[in-house]
Structure 1
Amino acid sequence: MDIQLTKAEEQFMQVLWDLKEASVKEIIDQLPKPKPAYNTVSTIIRILENKNVVGHKVKGRGYIYYPLLPKSEYSNKSLQKIVDGYFGGSFKSMVSFFVNKNDIDLKELDVIMKVINDKKTKK
């Protein structure tokens, strides 16, 4: 599944991932100001349905929307695209970039190493 989401689509997916399910009004309520028009949100949600990343169920006279695409799957594919596109497919290069450019302190590096070591021991 190679899904491309626009910035607006991704923002609405973040709301749905957080809420698990929501009406258009509930999605709008979670968005920062200035809030988009109801019709704008409704249109983008329908686009997400056409991309098969959002589903809906009928509730009263309206719809409740829910994500079909798990956040972890989208995050993994997005991260892989970044690694491939900017770091030649090398996670080592990506981590090195963030360490050098973002002043990661030793405590953060220790936490990262703990996560890596925990993963190794679980395999």
Structure 2
Amino acid sequence: MDIKDLTRVESQLMQVLWTLQKAFVKEIISELPDPKPAYSTVSTIIRILESKGVIGYEAFGKTHRYFPLISKEEYMRHEADKFLGSYFSNSVQDMFSFFVREKKIDLKDVEQLLKMIDQIKD
């Protein structure tokens, strides 16, 4: 499945849908931080997400209950791959080196990563 990139606001709505699994627009709005966007604004963003193929809906008369068509993990994988390719030429080593140089990874993180690597080896 070709996953489309999401804007910051679209991603924020998807976070709510991933948490709730199924929701009406009013339920989505209630989960958003203050100041709450207008119903029409959220409806418009929902339609955009629908056109991108990341959400679907069930019709209940004139209203719709929306649900994600892709999992949070699928989207995280898409974003991670894009990030790795865009900034580090698909090199995990270059990415890791960058975070070490920038002091974004501490010794505890390194120990955890080494444990994960050992598990992969076994």
Q: TM-score under structure 1 normalisation?
A: 0.88
Supply the distance in 2 between the matched residues of 1:42 and 1:10 (Cα, whole angstroms).
14
Instruction: Evaluate the alpha carbon distance shift between residue 67 and residue 120 of structure 1 in structure 2; reply closer, same or farther with a 3 A threshold.
Output: farther
In structure 2, the partner of 1:38 is 39
User: Distance between the aligned counterparts of 1:119 and 1:20, measured in 2?
Assistant: 32
Q: CA deviation at 1:5?
A: 0.9
Ranges in structure 2 where 5+ consecutive residues have no aligned partner = none
Classify 1:28/1:85 alpha carbon distance in 2 versus 1 (closer, same or farther; 3 Å): same
Matches within 5 A, 1:1-123: 1-59=2-60, 61-121=62-122
Point out where structure 1 has 5 or more consecutive residues left out of the alignment: none
Q: Whole-Å Cα distance in 2 between the matches of residues 112 and 51 of structure 1?
A: 35
Q: Secondary structure at the match of 2:116?
A: helix
Aligned residues: 121
